[in-house]
Chain A
C-alpha cells in the first residue's frame, strides 16, 4: 500500500469522488430526515458482526495480513472481515462511511494522512491498543504522535533507497555526482540513475540533503530559498549530462531498471516485488551523499504504515485487541518472513545477512517522516509544477519556487468571512412568493382547471418519471449547487453568500488572464470544445458519407471496426493514448524514429506534455478518437432520411457531385444532426476523463478545462467543496444560457431552411 500511499500528492490527483463529512451530513439530513426515520437500525447495532478491517495491500503483503488474521481467529479472537480496496478509493471511502457510523472498525493506512483524518474525525486515539514505547522505533513513533497522543499503531516503514544493477555496476560510488560521472562508460541507452526527476516526492530526498523540506515551519511552503534552488540546479546538471532520464514517472523507473536500462534506480521496497521474476542481479544500498551539499546524505521521506481505529471501532475492546495484535512482535515477524516488509518495531531483529532489509532499515534512520499536517497535501501540486516548469527551462529555480509558494499561499488562504444568510432567505422567499402568486393567478383565470383536467391522462404516464428524477437527480443537484454558498473544509465550513463566485469571477484578485484564472481556463475550455466538435463532425460526416455509398464494398466490416473506440471504456483508452505520447518510449516517438530511419530524416522526439500546444493536441487526438464514431453513426442515420429522388433530380439538373453534397445532402441532414451536435458539445465541455488522464493539465495546469479545475479545488487543494461547487454552478449557467440562445437561433434558422428545402423539392419535382 505504501507503494502509492507515500505519494499522497499523487493519490490525491486520482479521480475519486471524495465524500466529506458532517457539514454535508447536516445539510442533507434536513432533506433526508424523513427517509432516515424509515430506514433500518444503524450498522453498529449488530453486536455479533465480524470486525471490519480495511486495507489496500496486494500480493505478498495481503497474504501476510491474511495469515496474521487467520492466526488471530484460530486462537479464539473475534472473527474478522478483511476488505482490500483500490488505494485510490481508500481515503474517500473512509471519509464517506465512518462519519455515518459505517465502514471499518480499523484500517491500515499511511501516517501522513492522520492530520487530515483527525480534522475530519474519522480516526480516534488508539488507547490501550498501543502496548508501550519500548518496542517501536523512534521515527515511527514520532510519525504517529500528534499533540502528545498516539493516533495509530505503527506496523512498517517505507522509504526509497538505491537499487544497483550488479551486472552493470560492481562498485557503487559514494556520491550522487560520482554515479552521474559513470554515464560515459555505460552502454548505449543505459542511464546511470533512474528516478522520477520531475516528481516532488523523489525530489524531496535531494532537498533533504540540502537541509530543506517541502513543508516548512508552521505549515509554510518549504520548497523555496537556497536549498530548493541548489537542489534544482543539481537535477538540471544530472539531466544535462544524460545521466538521468528527463521524464520518467514511477512506473517507467521500474521498467527501466527491470529491463537493465538503468545502472541504479531510486525506488522503494515495491520495486523488489516487480523484480522477483526477472533475472536482474541487483542489491540495495543507502542513497548516496551529495557533494554539492557538502557531502550530506540524501534524506528521503519516510512513510509509516499504521493501524488506525475509527471512532466507533476504538470503543470496542476486541477491536483494540486486534490492533494490538496486528502490531505485535509476532505479527511483525510474519510480515517480515512473508512479505519482506521493514517493521516499525525495534525489538524484531532483521534476518541474519539480509542486506536488502538492512539497507532499508539504515535508510529509514536518516529519512524524514513525512509531515502529517493537512497542509502537506497542498504542497504537492505547486512543488510538482515548479520542478516541471524549471526542468522545461521556462523559469529559473528562484522564480519557479517563488511562484510555487505564491500558489500554495493562495490555495491555503483563509476562506471568506461568514456572511449573513438574510439576503438568501429574502431572495428564496420572494421567489416562492412569486411562484405562489403565479399559481394563484393561473388558477383564478379559469384556464388552469380545464387544462389540468386535459393533462390528467398524460400525468399518469409521467408521474413515476417525475418522482424518480425529482428524488434522484434534482434533489442531489440542488443540494450540490447550494454548497457553492459555503466555504472552507466541510467540517469547519460556513455560509459565505456569493463570495466564492466573486472570488472566481475576479480571478482571486490576480490578473484576469493569469494561469489558472477562471477566464483563461474558460478560453481553453471553449477552444477545446470548438476544436473537438469541428473535428468530430469533419471526420464523422465524411466517413458517414463514404460508408453510406451503396457501391462501397466491405462497408459492414468497416462500420463495425470504426465503432470500436466507442465500445471500449474510455478510461482504458485514455491511458493507452497517454502511453503512446510518452516522449521517450511512446509509440508516436517510435513512429517518428521509424520515419527518420526510412527517409533519412532527423526529426526530434516531441515532449508532448511540456508545451501547451502539443499537450492540447494530445488531448484532442484522444478525444477525437473517442468521439468520431458517434458522429459517424448519427450521420449514417441522418443520411437514410435523404430522399433519393431529390438527389437524382439535382443530378438531372446538372448539379455536380460537389454541389449535390453542399446544396442538397448537407442541408437535409443538418436538422437531424443538430441535436446530436449540441449534446456532443455539452459532453465535450465537461469531458473530465480525457483531460485528467492524458495531459493531467500539464504543462502547469494550462490544458485544464473548467471541470478538471473544479475537481482540483475539491480534491487536491484541501477539500474546498464550496469553491468547486461554485465552478459547477458557473459551468451550468454558461451551458444553459448558450443552449437557450442556440435553441432560439436554430429554430429561426431551421424554419428558414425547411422552407428552402421544400422549395428545392418542389423545384426538382417540377423539373422531373
Chain B
C-alpha cells in the first residue's frame, strides 16, 4: 500500500498533532459515509415511524418483524408451499453471477488481444467501444426488448443476463485490457522461450498475474446486475422469476410506502455485495491500479 518512502522515517516521531488531525478528517469522512446507511438500518429495525426531525439514527421500538416479513414470504404452488424469497434471492444470485461470468468470459480474450496484438481495426474498435458508454442506456432499452422477444428470451433469466452483459462486457474489456498491459511482456516471452504456446503462456502466466483485476471486474459486473431493477421489472413476468430489487420496488408506493419493509429489504439486498466488497477489498485497490480504468 505504502508507496511513500518512509522506511527510514520509522524511527522518527510523526507529530501527534498531525496524526490526530488525520484521524479527525477521516473520522468525519466515515461519519459522512455511514450516516445515510445508518438511517436505512435504523428504519429497518423500527417498530413505528413517527414524523419528527431527529439527528441520531436509532430505531424506534426495535423489532425484527420487518426483516422477518421480507425473508419469510412464501406462496402456494398447488399443494406445496414455496419459499418465494429464497427463490428470488437465488434468481438474483444466478443472474448476477452469470452476468459476471459471461462478461469476464467474453472480455478476457478480447482484452488480451487488445493489450498484446496489433491488428487492423483495433483503434477504431476501441473508439466504438468507448462511444457505447456515452449513449444513455434508455435509448437502447426498447430495441433490446424487441430482440429478446424475437429470440423467445423474454421473461427468462437468460434474457436478463444478456441485457446486463451489454453494459458489463465493454466495461470489463477496458478494465482488463489495461490490466494485461501492465503485466510485463517478458513474463510471457520467457514462458514461450521455455516451450509454452502463446495460449499456454496466457493461461499459465498472464491470467494468474491479472487475478486481482479480474476479481474486481467480476465484482463490478456482479454488482451492476445485482442492483438493477428497471430492466428486471420490465422483462420478468413471473413472481418466482423476480430478482430482489423488483421485490423491493413493490414496497414503495406514492401513498402507502412501507418504508420500514423497504429498508429491511434494502439491508438484505445489500449484504452480499458488502461481504464481497469486504472480501475483495485488497484486490479492489490492486485491481483498479493495474486496470487504472484506462479508456
- Of B152, B165, B245, B259, which is in contact with the most chain A CB atoms at under 10 Å from its CB? B152
CA distance A701 to B99 in the complex (A): 36
Contact status A647-B4, CB under 8 Å: yes
Contact A736 B131, CB 8 Å, known A3-B253, A476-B166, A567-B273: yes
Contact status B254-A644, CB under 8 Å: no
Closest to A9 in B: B254
Q: Which among B19, B122, B256 is the interface contact of A270 at CB below 8 angstroms?
A: B256
Segment at the B interface, from A337-345, A355-363, A556-564, A607-615 = A556-564
Contact A92 B150, CB 8 Å, known A475-B143, A721-B142: no
CA distance A577 to B36 in the complex (A): 7
Contact status A454-B134, CB under 8 Å: no
Contact status B50-A259, CB under 8 Å: yes
The answer to the question of B289 belonging to the interface, with a C-beta cut-off of 8 Å to chain A, is yes
Contact status A58-B140, CB under 8 Å: no
CA distance A586 to B285 in the complex (A): 35
The answer to the question of B193 belonging to the interface, with a C-beta cut-off of 8 Å to chain A, is no
Question: Closest CB-CB distance, A255 to chain B, in whole Å?
Answer: 4
Closest to B145 in A: A19
CA distance A686 to B52 in the complex (A): 34
Contact status A648-B8, CB under 8 Å: yes
Contact status A451-B120, CB under 8 Å: yes
Residues of the A chain whose Cβ atoms lie less than 8 Å from the Cβ of B139: 477, 480-481, 483, 724-725, 728-729
Question: Closest CB-CB distance, B174 to chain A, in whole Å?
Answer: 8
Q: Which among B23, B249, B269 is the interface contact of A86 at CB below 8 angstroms?
A: B249
Residues of the B chain whose Cβ atoms lie less than 8 Å from the Cβ of A714: 138
CA distance A472 to B141 in the complex (A): 11
Q: Contact mask A447-470 → B, CB, 8 Å, 1/0?
A: 010011011011101101110110
The answer to the question of B133 belonging to the interface, with a C-beta cut-off of 8 Å to chain A, is yes
Contact A576 B39, CB 8 Å, known A10-B254, A17-B231, A637-B292: yes
Contact A678 B1, CB 8 Å, known A86-B249, A465-B173, A707-B136: no
Contact status B3-A476, CB under 8 Å: no
Question: Closest CB-CB distance, A742 to chain B, in whole Å?
Answer: 10
The answer to the question of B101 belonging to the interface, with a C-beta cut-off of 8 Å to chain A, is no
Q: Contact mask A73-93 → B, CB, 8 Å, 1/0?
A: 000000000011111110011
Residues of the B chain whose Cβ atoms lie less than 8 Å from the Cβ of A87: 250, 253
Contact status A676-B293, CB under 8 Å: yes
Contact A476 B254, CB 8 Å, known A88-B233, A462-B110: no
Q: Is the interface of A mostly helix, strand, loop or mixed?
A: helix
The answer to the question of A675 belonging to the interface, with a C-beta cut-off of 8 Å to chain B, is yes
Contact status B1-A640, CB under 8 Å: yes
Q: Which among A250, A561, A580 is the interface contact of B30 at CB below 8 angstroms?
A: A561
Report A470-491 residues with CB < 8 Å from chain B CB.
471-477, 479-481, 483
Q: Which among A550, A579, A584 is the interface contact of B2 at CB below 8 angstroms?
A: A550
The answer to the question of A237 belonging to the interface, with a C-beta cut-off of 8 Å to chain B, is no
Contact status B229-A571, CB under 8 Å: yes
The answer to the question of A546 belonging to the interface, with a C-beta cut-off of 8 Å to chain B, is yes
Contact A679 B146, CB 8 Å, known A473-B166, A480-B139: no
Closest to A551 in B: B14
Contact status B26-A4, CB under 8 Å: no
Residues of the B chain whose Cβ atoms lie less than 8 Å from the Cβ of A548: 1-4
Contact status A573-B149, CB under 8 Å: no
Contact status A549-B53, CB under 8 Å: no
Contact status A102-B255, CB under 8 Å: no
Question: Closest CB-CB distance, A321 to chain B, in whole Å?
Answer: 23
CA distance A403 to B248 in the complex (A): 38
CA distance A17 to B285 in the complex (A): 35
Contact status A576-B254, CB under 8 Å: no
Question: Closest CB-CB distance, B12 to chain A, in whole Å?
Answer: 10
Residues of the B chain whose Cβ atoms lie less than 8 Å from the Cβ of A549: 2, 4, 6, 22
The answer to the question of B185 belonging to the interface, with a C-beta cut-off of 8 Å to chain A, is no
Chain A interface category by residue count: 35 or more
Contact status B249-A89, CB under 8 Å: yes
Contact status B277-A563, CB under 8 Å: yes
Closest to B295 in A: A675
Contact A633 B284, CB 8 Å, known A468-B165, A552-B22: yes
Contact A675 B51, CB 8 Å, known A86-B249, A273-B256, A480-B139: no
Chain B interface category by residue count: 35 or more
Contact status B227-A570, CB under 8 Å: yes
Contact status A17-B141, CB under 8 Å: yes
Q: Is the interface of B mostly helix, strand, loop or mixed?
A: helix
Q: Contact mask A259-284 → B, CB, 8 Å, 1/0?
A: 10100000110110110001000000
Residues of the B chain whose Cβ atoms lie less than 8 Å from the Cβ of A659: none
Residues of the B chain whose Cβ atoms lie less than 8 Å from the Cβ of A743: 295
Closest to B21 in A: A546
Contact status B254-A468, CB under 8 Å: no
The answer to the question of A212 belonging to the interface, with a C-beta cut-off of 8 Å to chain B, is no
Residues of the A chain whose Cβ atoms lie less than 8 Å from the Cβ of B151: 32, 35, 38-39
Question: Closest CB-CB distance, A734 to chain B, in whole Å?
Answer: 9
The answer to the question of B162 belonging to the interface, with a C-beta cut-off of 8 Å to chain A, is yes
Contact A472 B152, CB 8 Å, known A644-B4, A682-B134: no
Contact status A641-B289, CB under 8 Å: yes
Residues of the B chain whose Cβ atoms lie less than 8 Å from the Cβ of A273: 256
Contact status B147-A35, CB under 8 Å: yes
Report B80-138 residues with CB < 8 Å from chain A CB.
106-107, 109-110, 112-114, 117-122, 125, 128-136, 138
Contact status A39-B289, CB under 8 Å: no
Residues of the B chain whose Cβ atoms lie less than 8 Å from the Cβ of A471: 147
The answer to the question of A317 belonging to the interface, with a C-beta cut-off of 8 Å to chain B, is no
Q: Contact mask A565-598 → B, CB, 8 Å, 1/0?
A: 1111111110111011000111101110110000
Q: Which among A250, A579, A682 is the interface contact of B254 at CB below 8 angstroms?
A: A250
Residues of the A chain whose Cβ atoms lie less than 8 Å from the Cβ of B110: 461-462, 464-466
The answer to the question of B17 belonging to the interface, with a C-beta cut-off of 8 Å to chain A, is no
CA distance A639 to B5 in the complex (A): 12
Contact status B138-A576, CB under 8 Å: no
Residues of the A chain whose Cβ atoms lie less than 8 Å from the Cβ of B25: 542-543, 546
- Of A25, A27, A551, A558, which is in contact with the most chain B CB atoms at under 10 Å from its CB? A551
Q: Which among A97, A461, A566, A636 is the interface contact of B117 at CB below 8 angstroms?
A: A461
CA distance A59 to B17 in the complex (A): 58
Question: Closest CB-CB distance, B149 to chain A, in whole Å?
Answer: 5
Can you add 15 more A-B contacts, CB < 8 Å, to A88-B249, A477-B140, A551-B6?
A: A31-B143, A32-B147, A35-B150, A87-B250, A256-B51, A259-B52, A480-B141, A558-B26, A568-B273, A569-B270, A572-B269, A573-B36, A672-B292, A679-B133, A725-B139
6 pairs of residues in contact across A and B, judged by CB atoms under 8 Å: A461-B109, A549-B2, A564-B277, A565-B36, A567-B270, A710-B136
Please list the 8 inter-chain residue pairs (A to B) with the smallest Cβ-Cβ separation, ordered nearest first.
Answer: A644-B5, A637-B289, A455-B119, A465-B110, A461-B113, A480-B139, A458-B117, A590-B53
